[in-house]
């Protein structure tokens, strides 16, 4: 049986709180010494067997650090810590068996939680992400001095989370800079589109940590016709590129984020594609990097396409000159009485390297 919900946060407050919690990218991460040491210290100060750093998401409380607790998470419905969120104040329950809020709580009925004292983990923006709490399996009291010490430790937990985010952001910026530099150096020397797309997709993955990402590139063959030429993504995407990508908010899991590749040639179009997941958060921090990558990609693909067109035109010119030379030789043979089989054999030699489709291809024609 679940516990009756406490005085609730407003929808706006809860959405904002969950947004910040996800942006910290701390849920479901491995244990870290800095947090583990805090719960050990809290348990020793309060002289209890159990202490937790508890973070509350939509439907569970997950323990970033724990001592004396055999599981890493429980349902939010049975969480004592959720009662701290609305009031943003410490919560002390000396004997949960006598508190109407917790009489039917499974953790109380099974004797796992009888005494509880928790302090909020409040970010500088005012959002409460969870609590640092101490727990005992028997009723007890706690002094103001001990609660004061727990509040100090709670602030230390928040400081560690903010430091962790700062270190992560710095590492991400360094990784982005390295990816863009590698891409820049690669594009200078590479002129084949498949290689360009594959390399760019690999760098997108490094920038975003996304498991599903890639690059698609196509060419419009008429006012309403178009076709994909290169694809390293494996994802479906519309050829209509006028839908803007909004980086103002985090994308839900499973969202296909699309970055338009800004080609100057109106016949060309493309996407950088990243699919969000539980582990991949695409937001404002990625926008500059992905747009910079897209601009570099556009320049490289257009250069590669131009080079391919020039090579094709040169090949057409070479083949045309070969045909003209063969025709002139045939006319000369007829004039000098050369046997007809020899003349025909010479003409056939002139055409043997020619793809019939290439004879009618105009690489720079308009629609």
Residue 3 pLDDT: 37
Averaged pLDDT for residues 255-263: 78
Residue 70 sits in the same domain as residue 201: no
pLDDT greater at residue 343 or residue 91: 91
Band (237; pLDDT cuts 50, 70, 90):
very low
Highest mean pLDDT among 57-61, 152-156, 163-167, 245-249: 152-156
Strand-pairing partners, residue 62, are 55, 73
Give the domain CATH number at 296: 3.30.450.40
Is residue 4 in a domain? no
Residue 32 pLDDT: 96
Q: How many domains, in total, are found in the chain? A: 3
pLDDT at 125 over 60: yes
Q: Which of 71-85, 146-160, 206-220 has the lowest mean pLDDT?
A: 206-220
Residue 67 sits in the same domain as residue 162: yes
Residue 67 sits in the same domain as residue 87: yes
Mean pLDDT of the chain: 79
Within its chain, how far is the Cα of 199 from the centroid?
17
* Domain boundary residue, one of 266, 286, 307: 307
Residue 270 sits in the same domain as residue 144: no
Residue 353 pLDDT: 60
Is residue 128 in a domain? yes
Residue 147 pLDDT: 97
Band (185; pLDDT cuts 50, 70, 90):
confident
Q: What is the largest CA-CA distance in the chain?
A: 121
Is residue 249 in a domain? yes
Residue 359 pLDDT: 44
Q: Which of 82-86, 109-113, 152-156, 213-217 has the lowest mean pLDDT?
A: 213-217
* Domain boundary residue, one of 113, 133, 166: 166
Residue 115 sits in the same domain as residue 202: no
pLDDT greater at residue 165 or residue 288: 165
Is residue 71 in a domain? yes
Is residue 183 in a domain? no
pLDDT at 121 over 90: yes
Residue 354 pLDDT: 58
pLDDT at 139 over 80: yes
Residue 209 sits in the same domain as residue 298: yes
Residue 26 sits in the same domain as residue 141: yes
pLDDT at 47 over 80: yes
Residue 256 sits in the same domain as residue 302: yes
Residue 26 sits in the same domain as residue 66: yes
Averaged pLDDT for residues 345-366: 53
Measure the CA–CA gap between 113 and 123, rounded to whole angstroms: 27
Residue 24 sits in the same domain as residue 149: yes
Residues of the domain holding 326: 312-360
Angle at alpha carbon of residue 202, lines to 201 and 205, rounded to 5°:
90
Band (108; pLDDT cuts 50, 70, 90):
very high
Measure the CA–CA gap between 327 and 205, rounded to whole angstroms: 55
Residue 58 neighbours by CB under 8 Å, 6+ apart: 18, 76
Measure the CA–CA gap between 155 and 120, rounded to whole angstroms: 9
Global pTM reads 0.66
Give the up-direction half-sphere exposure of residue 50: CA atoms within 13 A in the CB hemisphere.
19
pLDDT greater at residue 43 or residue 307: 43
Highest mean pLDDT among 164-178, 179-193, 229-243, 332-346: 164-178
């Amino acid at each position: 049986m679940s516990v009756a919900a406490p005085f609730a946060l407003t929808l706006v407050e809860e959405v904002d709180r969950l947004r910040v919690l996800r942006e910290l990218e701390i849920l479901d991460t491995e244990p870290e010494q800095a947090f583990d040491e805090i719960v050990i210290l809290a348990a020793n100060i309060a002289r209890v067997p159990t202490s937790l750093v508890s973070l509350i998401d939509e439907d569970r409380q997950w323990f970033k650090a724990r001592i004396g607790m055999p599981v890493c998470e429980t349902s939010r419905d049975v969480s004592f810590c959720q009662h701290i969120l609305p009031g943003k104040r410490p919560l002390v329950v000396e004997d949960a068996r006598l508190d109407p809020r917790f009489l039917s709580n499974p953790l109380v009925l099974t004797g796992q939680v009888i005494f509880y004292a928790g302090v909020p983990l409040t970010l500088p923006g005012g959002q409460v992400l969870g609590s640092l709490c101490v727990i005992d399996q028997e009723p007890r009291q706690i002094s103001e001095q001990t609660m004061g010490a727990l509040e100090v430790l709670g602030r230390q937990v928040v400081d560690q989370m903010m430091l962790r985010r700062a270190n992560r952001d710095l590492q991400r910026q360094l990784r982005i800079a390295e990816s863009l530099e590698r891409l820049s150096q690669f594009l200078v020397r590479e002129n084949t589109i498949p290689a360009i797309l594959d390399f760019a997709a690999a760098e997108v993955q490094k920038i975003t940590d996304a498991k599903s990402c890639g690059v698609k590139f196509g060419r419009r063959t008429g006012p309403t016709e178009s076709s994909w030429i290169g694809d390293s993504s494996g994802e479906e995407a519309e050829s209509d590129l006028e839908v803007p990508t909004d980086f103002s908010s985090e994308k839900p899991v499973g969202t296909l984020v699309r970055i338009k590749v800004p080609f100057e040639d109106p016949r060309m179009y493309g996407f950088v594609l990243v699919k969000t997941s539980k582990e991949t958060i695409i937001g404002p921090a990625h926008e500059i990097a992905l747009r910079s990558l897209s601009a570099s990609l556009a320049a490289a693909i257009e250069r590669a396409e131009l080079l391919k067109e020039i090579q094709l035109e040169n090949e057409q010119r070479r083949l045309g000159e070969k045909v003209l030379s063969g025709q002139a030789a045939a006319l000369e043979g007829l004039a000098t009485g050369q046997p007809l089989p020899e003349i025909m054999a010479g003409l056939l030699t002139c055409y043997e390297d020619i793809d019939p489709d290439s004879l009618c291809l105009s690489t720079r024609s308009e629609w």
